[in-house]
Structure 1
């Protein structure tokens, strides 16, 4: 019984998501809220924690693998390895801390450098702690113009009230799925071209 269950799970499509952002912006709180429907206020920062969950994305059962990275600079070298393995990224900052928003540009640069891809990388900018509106330091318009410049979506979340928590993970999975589909289509077209070329040579 157990083997068929694990077999079934391993056959599901897996989307690898990486949480990126400065320390204390609520990456772990968002992850734990999405995974377990609970808000953890005091979370010990770690090097990285990995979570896996089976979800239904637009009627299809898939698995999401979330890597919650630490924001501290000490882990910058390790972070490169994590970025390589990721398929989609949630770039998180706190709306109450302008510095954390400024840092998103550096994190994005690092992702682009490590991934070294010409086309777009599935990425969402997430302004967390939207429940602390009275302490807001980052203006919505400021982030929107940055997100537009990068060609990505901007969503505000609250790990505390669960506002938009599911939305950011599901929207990112859709972006990842879209990219995978276009890549497999490209591969198929390339294969077709190679076959055609091979046929010509044989003639």
Structure 2
């Protein structure tokens, strides 16, 4: 995904939120994608946002990325960004089993808040360069992703492995999700008191 100086309209502006427990490398992933450098030490209390313009399916998109604070559960902004984000990177560390449990809880919480079971999310196992410290196998990651019905991939912020792919794939999911919603707004309006569910917005 290359940066460009083009303009983008409101339908091509996507707000991606990077969530997960502290120390899993959320900021490292975000800064590696936005600014293309690796940061090993980062203030876990900082919550910051970045904007990047790039091509997605041959059109210019404006990507807003919210890098959430390490202690998400104590952030007063937590419910707001979970309610207003267009898509979520659920980041855990393959070296920390508790961090995987945490993002599974986040996934359930987002489903409840957004009242949908197909909201754009990708499960990201970061720190795959630390193979000797691995606690989550690739096979387990695949099983968990299948249970949650979300795409998955392993990343290394340090070596930039799959970093571009993670953000690109999530932005693509959001784009398809928004397009499907716009196409079916009328049909949704005719469905009283029911969840708006679509099953065709996944990356193949």
TM-score normalised to structure 2 length: 0.84
Runs of 4+ deviating beyond 6 Å:
none
Change (3 A) 1:62 1:140: same
Which one has the largest radius of gyration?
1
Q: Secondary structure at the match of 2:53?
A: strand
Name structure 1 gaps, 5 residues minimum: 192-203
Alignment of 1:19 with 2:4, yes or no, is no
Equivalent residue for 2:195? none
Structure 2 distance, partners of 1:113, 1:176, is: 18
Equivalent residue for 2:121? 123
Equivalent residue for 1:90? 89
Structure 2 distance, partners of 1:88, 1:190, is: 20
Q: Secondary structure at the match of 1:134?
A: helix
- Compute the displacement of 1:139 (Å): 1.4
Change (3 A) 1:137 1:177: same
Equivalent residue for 1:111? 110
CA offsets 1:71-112 (integer angstroms, 9 cap, x no match): 315525421111111010000000111111111111112212
Which residues of 2 match residues 31-46 of structure 1 at below 5 A? 31-46=30-45
Q: Secondary structure at the match of 2:77?
A: helix
* Greater helix share, structure number: 1
Which residues of 2 match residues 136-147 of structure 1 at below 5 A? 136-147=134-145
Q: Secondary structure at the match of 1:176?
A: helix
Alignment of 1:63 with 2:62, yes or no, is yes
Q: 1:47, 1:75 within 8 Å by CA — same for their partners in 2?
A: no
Task: Name whichever of 19-28 and 71-80 sits farther off.
Answer: 71-80
Name structure 2 gaps, 5 residues minimum: 190-204
Change (3 A) 1:72 1:154: same
Equivalent residue for 1:165? 163
TM-score normalised to structure 1 length: 0.85
Q: Secondary structure at the match of 1:91?
A: strand
Q: 2:26, 2:91 within 8 Å by CA — same for their partners in 1?
A: yes
Q: Secondary structure at the match of 2:23?
A: coil
Q: 1:12, 1:63 within 8 Å by CA — same for their partners in 2?
A: no
